[in-house]
Structure 1
Amino acid sequence: MLSALGWGALAAASLVVGALLALVRRWRDGVVGAVLAFGAGALISSVAFELAQEGLSIGSPTSVAIGLALGAVTFFLADRAVERIGGRAGGGAAGLPLALGSLLDGIPEQAVLGIGLATGKGVSVALLVAIFVSNLPEGVGSAADMRASGKSRAAIVRLWIAVAVVCALATLGGYAVADLAGGDVKGGIDGFAAGALLVMLVDSMVPEAKEKAGNRAGLATVLGFAVAAALSNLT
């Protein structure tokens, strides 16, 4: 169980690292956009080769589809709530959609990591690296937006530490309930993570990457996808 917590903390730590990198200095929009695009590509690969594929291999198509729908609707409704709080252009909620996406996809994603450890499959290196690589630009992009909107450094760091702690504990939770969860439940968890990720990517991450990186966003996205896909096929 301690190993599950350790691996979960390692994967979630990149969220805080990304936020700290954004606070150390002001990065040019082009750099932030390229990093976001790279992370988006890694997440697309994670959805395709880790979450959806694994979900269908251990659960029924129906359970994965239900999970996808629940994840998508959950992120959509939560994102709408964030917009009402401050609006993306109003400053108060700047960067929060990415933080919200990290939380909504990070919890089930890292629960999958814990389930794998508990069932004796060990750590999926591809999934671990995909989580780490995709978390980093989410932290950078979100913290940069929050900082630009006037949020204090302390408030930003506290937020990302809280998100990272919750995600790390999700790994522990997945480890604890692995014996109780059947294949359909595990498949649904994979689907939920994939659904939340896809909506976050289309609504928040990809548009922001394109806006900040311009035509380079597409190339960076393909590069991120290629790196993550190669890692998936190594395991």
Structure 2
Amino acid sequence: MTGVVEAGLWGLVAGGALLVGAAVGYGVRVPQWVIASVMAFGAGVLLSAVSFELLGEAYDEAGLAPAAVGALCGALAYTAGNVVLARRGARHRKRSGHGRSQPSESEQQGSGTALALGALLDGVPESAVIGVSLLEGGAVSTVTVAAVFLSNIPEGLSSAAGMHAAGRSRRYVFTVWGAITAISGLAAVAGYQLLGGAPAAVVAGVTAVAAGAILAMIADTMIPEAFEDAHLAIGLIVVSGFLLSFALSHA
């Protein structure tokens, strides 16, 4: 199997979790506290993967300054994109309801497109680093794939539940998440192809940028949804997800 094909397949596997979560969130009435708890667990898994797999590797390859600057640039780029989309109706794209919910198309024209672009903004950095991880030793990072997969399930679940509550059709919901799954595979291929043969410092810098974007996404979209209904237990749940990913990275 060539590296390009392998990168694409792993990207599709990780992105496919969005469809799994969306199917549950749209078709099953899941209690709010369950959605919040799963979101908190996914946030913990991603936090650990970013810390030990992405930023850790960037630091080992290029040192503190490039890793820190790259992470800040990634966070800045994500925040800028998120601000633009938030003004167009995608602010609560991972909210499933309860207090702050996604707007319907009649409430805010163009919000459906903004929600789709927001999902794309959240998913591309995660998928790209899967392809990049293949450049290190020729094998994909199992921890990175597992972390993205585990975090994508609650993302798809919560967002699809919110879309359903906002009156969006089944066709719209699964078209969005099906497209994002396909783009996840392409993003993983792009990460592998564009950085193949690049100096280690460049790969480290791009990895740090993706890590910064993912950290900003966790803080801005995942943690708020988790806190909404599981605030008394959120710390314990996040730490549980963090420890699972930590254990996988050191297994």
Normalised by the length of structure 1, the TM-score is 0.89
Aligned-partner Cα distance in 2 for 1:151–1:81: 22
Q: Deviations over 1:145-174 (max 9, x none)?
A: 222122212111111112221121111112
Aligned-partner Cα distance in 1 for 2:194–2:117: 26
Q: Note closer, same or farther for the CA distance 1:99–1:219 as it changes in structure 2 (3 Å cut).
A: farther
2:85 maps to amino acid: V
Aligned-partner Cα distance in 1 for 2:115–2:249: 27
Q: Note closer, same or farther for the CA distance 1:91–1:108 as it changes in structure 2 (3 Å cut).
A: closer
2:51 maps to amino acid: A
Q: Deviations over 1:191-211 (max 9, x none)?
A: 122211222222221121011
| Aligned counterpart, 1:189 | 206
1:26 maps to amino acid: R
Q: 1:113 aligns with which of 100, 106, 130?
A: 130
1:14 maps to amino acid: A
Q: Specify the SS of the correspondent of 1:91.
A: coil
RMSD: 2.2
Q: Note closer, same or farther for the CA distance 1:139–1:145 as it changes in structure 2 (3 Å cut).
A: same
Q: Does the CA-based 8 Å contact 2:36-2:225 persist in structure 1?
A: yes
| Aligned counterpart, 2:55 | 52
Report the number of matched residues.
232
Q: 1:19 aligns with which of 15, 18, 22?
A: 22
Aligned-partner Cα distance in 2 for 1:116–1:80: 29
1:4 maps to amino acid: A
How far the C-alpha of 1:232 sits from its partner, in A, is 0.8
| Aligned counterpart, 2:65 | 62
Q: Does the CA-based 8 Å contact 1:15-1:135 persist in structure 2?
A: yes
Range with bigger deviation, 47-56 or 173-182 = 173-182
Q: Does the CA-based 8 Å contact 2:122-2:214 persist in structure 1?
A: yes
1:139 aligns with 2:156: yes
Q: Note closer, same or farther for the CA distance 1:153–1:58 as it changes in structure 2 (3 Å cut).
A: same
Q: Does the CA-based 8 Å contact 1:91-1:150 persist in structure 2?
A: no
Q: Deviations over 1:113-146 (max 9, x none)?
A: 2233245431211111111111111111111122
| Aligned counterpart, 2:141 | 124
| Aligned counterpart, 1:212 | 229
Q: Note closer, same or farther for the CA distance 1:172–1:191 as it changes in structure 2 (3 Å cut).
A: same
| Aligned counterpart, 1:151 | 168
How far the C-alpha of 1:50 sits from its partner, in A, is 0.9
Q: Specify the SS of the correspondent of 1:151.
A: coil
Q: Deviations over 1:30-61 (max 9, x none)?
A: 01000100001001101111111011122243
